[in-house]
Amino acid sequence: MNTNEDYSTEHDRNGTSMKIKTYSNKRPGELRPCNLRPSLRPCKALHGFTLVELLVVIAIIGVLVALLLPAVQAAREAARRTQCINQLKQLSLAALNHESSVGFLPSGGWGYKWAGDPDLGFGRTQPGGWAFSLLPYIEAGGVQAIGRGLPVVEKTEALLRQKVTPIPMFYCPSRHAPGLGAGDETSHNVNQAAGGTFIKLVAKSDYAGNGGSKLPGRGGAKLGAGPPFQCIVKYPNCFGLPTQEEAFKGNGAIVPRFGVKLQQVSDGTSHTMLYGERWIHISMHELDHGLPPPQYDNNSIYQGWDWDTIRWASGRQESNGSMLGMPWPDSQGDTGRRGPIPNDCFRFGSTHTGGLNAANIDGSVHTVSFDIDPIAWNGLGGRDDGGAPP
């Protein structure tokens, strides 16, 4: 066995120093464990984790992650909610710019069978809904101009590009990222099979215009497909167009075909809702859910008067005690997939905790509680009913 000589210096009782030769089996450069000390030479300790210590550290890390995850999720949702509020703010300011330019708020369009037409202006002549009329005021004029100046048949093919062009501002980030969603309802002035295949994915919106506190068929402006396709060349000499009398049965900020003027908002622009988040059942949040679209969400955001683009702020109580137009969280209600039309189609709502975001005509944005008093909710929906603000 190889041994290594080593010397250490020690002192006797009289203080006399002397060298002492020692021997060890340590190879040159090898560290000696501190519990084996054949000499008085200092040594370096060897450290390591035991399995128990490692498991304890892992458990502590797991607990910390579990404690921090809800806080991280809450922070992300707060950021998404803030973005949603900002988008509604921009939409309401765009509507005010629209009003300054043409003299009235965006119109609701002719009916659910019509998409926007770039050659038909604003207001009563425009078949598309409020979102189409807003496009030039949210830096999306290129989408609004699709098909401009084309003959009728060619235009119906071009307008398919409009129908499948999403605008990020219309999507609440708490629900999903911007994209195309299921939409199989056809439009008179759009050739949905222009590319040889029937298109079933269209641009959507998580926001709806305020149709008022009077529900369709219950005192408000009725829902309908609008006039037939021939109206595009015969206007205004065609049947099926919403009349002014019928349109203004709706007491909201958005009415079919016609634009509301600010002087018609006698309740005040700061007390009347313009846009809000619309209720969409949580099972329908994924844009590519692969299911038949519900009847309240089966067309594009650019279409005319329909519950895809309009909702109602009504605290109306039915004979069975239900409140048809009260806002709901997305986790509540019926999915509405085909079959009988559910009453939930009328509602505003959101996926946020506690309430939905809503923009008033004056550009202010507020969070409206799901527990809002029905009378206050009615007051927020009607533009001229004398309702008190919530």
Residues 153-166 have pLDDT tens digits of 999 999 999 999 99
**What is the bridge-based pairing of β-strands 4-11 and 17-24?**
antiparallel
The single-letter code of the amino acid at 177 is: A
Average pLDDT in the 61-83 region?
88
pLDDT > 70? residue 13 = no
Write down the mean pLDDT value for the chain. 87
Q: What is the DSSP letter of 15?
A: -
Share of the chain above pLDDT 70, in %: 83
Choice between 210 and 71, residue whose per-residue pLDDT is larger: 210
Residues 263-297 have pLDDT tens digits of 999 999 999 999 999 999 998 888 776 778 888 89
pLDDT > 90? residue 256 = yes
**What is the bridge-based pairing of β-strands 273-277 and 310-311?**
unpaired
Choice between 1 and 118, residue whose per-residue pLDDT is larger: 118
pLDDT > 80? residue 244 = yes
- pLDDT at position 95: 98
Q: Six-digit token pair at 388?
A: 């008190």
Q: Please, which pLDDT band fits residue 334 given cuts at 50, 70 and 90?
A: confident
Residues 345, 385: Cα–Cα separation, whole Å: 23
Residues 159, 194: Cα–Cα separation, whole Å: 10
3-state helix, strand and coil shares in percent for the chain, rounded to the nearest 5: 30, 15, 60
pLDDT > 60? residue 77 = yes
- pLDDT at position 287: 77
